[in-house]
Structure 1
């Protein structure tokens, strides 16, 4: 995935994410069955404590990502195209 400020490689077979975000190298190794546990725990703690510094993305950006993801799944289910807003 390549975009403004990021270049990421996602390896589903190895459960690994590597790349660069805003000039910062990142590498994440998933842990098998607990793929999203750390992210979910950080998010729930951030919401519970009203502390956005515990997550990498502002809530407003995460909401847009979630909405875009739902639109993509809707498109796949309906075999239709959907226009995404920026």
Structure 2
């Protein structure tokens, strides 16, 4: 059984996932096709740096667990976007 903290953490992850996907959609639409892969890779590197270097607050175990989940979420989204940009155009 999950406690309220776990449920709110999952809800937060869903909100963050939607926000990241939406922000990427907007940025990619504003970026020339030949520059999108570079943008995705730059954003990935910046998010990795933030997750690795931002100071921990509160319970360190919970903070690290949250960062781990966020890192997996970001990695999945950036990987999906990179694959889409590397896919050849369909006629």
Taking structure 2 as the reference length, the TM-score comes to 0.29
- Whichever structure has more helix as a proportion of its residues is 2
1 or 2 for the larger relative contact order (CA 8 Å, sep ≥6)? 2
- Whichever structure has more strand as a proportion of its residues is 1
Taking structure 1 as the reference length, the TM-score comes to 0.30
